[in-house]
Amino acid sequence: FPGTPVAVLHTSRDGHWWFVASERYSAWIEQRRIALGDAVEVFRYADSPPPYLIVTGAAVETVFTPERPSLSKLRLDMGVRSPLLPNRQHTVNGQHPFTAYTIELPERRADGTLRLTPALIPRSADVATDYLPLTPRNLLTQSFKFLGERYGWGHAYEGRDCSGLVSEIYASFGVLLPRNTGDQAASPALNRIAFDTPVSHEQRLQTIRALQVGDLVYIPGHVMLVIGHADGMTWVIHDTVGVTYLDDDGQPQRITLNGVSVTPLEPLRVSATESYIDRITAIQRLRP
């Protein structure tokens, strides 16, 4: 996610990796992926006021530019925000910008220091000049932009995993979620419906029937986004390796999905004797 501010806390013994902390996550990252700047410069960029450009598609790319390979065809995922620069009368990286948006992106110099550089996003790209209104219709629209994308744990395969999916959907509305499902499910900053004490299956079903578009349903290690109710079922969109259900003989059957999929919630099983509903740890309901 180009432009994410991090604090570098520790260096690996071989010097190739840094342990960093961001707003949503702490992790090891390759040292070559980071440009070092002073705090004033970094946070000026990260907290830049409007105008800015928000990626509202599943992903967009900067235009191809042989003049600046580090910013050529650079992928920006949904929710990424970049300062929007005034359109210039001269070329940007070898191209006139009148058919594009000129944004400012961080670039790593050869010595590892930060340089902020203009780059172009085509006018045809799925972007917006402000965060989207957080409405049920927009939630559905943003969610379905990922339908069929390959599952990628930790954003492998140029895709994302279950928590990455819901994080990016909500990022397009300006809502910042923790990176991992466990942290998302436990966050007190959201409107949490907890299942910390024993709750009967029937009580859980009653809660499920009252779910609204955009509610996030958590079981250990997984999150699903509710898209509505139909045919007596609660339907969810989620990025999943696969699902299990009971066949006509009551035997569990596993289906490999490996992608962003729409499924009903009620039939999903952890095992022959336990359903997803029985494993729900929390529901998070977000408000504008």
166-186, pLDDT tens digit by residue?
999 999 999 999 999 999 999
Cα distance between residue 192 and residue 187, in whole Å = 8
Average of pLDDT values for 46-52? 92
Contacts with 193 (C-beta within 8 Å, 6 or more apart), sequence order: 207, 282, 283, 284, 285
User: Residue 93 — φ and ψ, nearest 5°?
Assistant: 50, 45
Torsion sign, CA atoms 270, 273, 275, 277: negative
Predicted pLDDT of residue 271: 87
In total, the chain counts a number of residues equal to 288
User: Residue 48 — φ and ψ, nearest 5°?
Assistant: -60, 135
pLDDT exceeds cutoff 90 at 230:
yes
274-283, pLDDT tens digit by residue?
999 999 999 9
Average of pLDDT values for 6-19? 96
pTM score? 0.93
Predicted pLDDT of residue 84: 96
> Which residue's structure tokens are 């509305």?
173
pLDDT exceeds cutoff 90 at 36:
yes
Tokens of 63: 């235009």
77-95, pLDDT tens digit by residue?
999 999 999 987 789 999 9
Cα distance between residue 23 and residue 7, in whole Å = 10
Cβ distance 201 to 278 under 8 Å?
Answer: yes
Residue 25, class by beta-carbon neighbours within 10 Å (0-12 exposed, 13-18 middle, 19+ buried)? Answer: middle
> Which residue's structure tokens are 């917006």?
128
Give the whole-number percent of the chain exceeding pLDDT 70. 100
pLDDT exceeds cutoff 70 at 288:
no
Helix (H, G, I), strand (E, B) or coil at 262: strand
Provide the residue type at 183 as one letter: D
Greatest distance between any 2 Cα atoms in the chain: 70
The mean of the pLDDT values for the chain is 94
Omega before 51 within 30 of 0, i.e. cis: yes
Beta-strand ranges (E) seen in 162-232 are: 191-194, 216-219, 222-230
Cα distance between residue 113 and residue 206, in whole Å = 55
pLDDT band per the 50, 70, 90 thresholds, residue 18: very high
Contacts with 223 (C-beta within 8 Å, 6 or more apart), sequence order: 162, 163, 166, 181, 184, 185, 216, 217, 238
Predicted pLDDT of residue 87: 80
What region does 7 belong to: left with phi over 0, alpha with psi -120 to 50, or beta? beta
pLDDT exceeds cutoff 90 at 155:
no
Tokens of 40: 């004033």
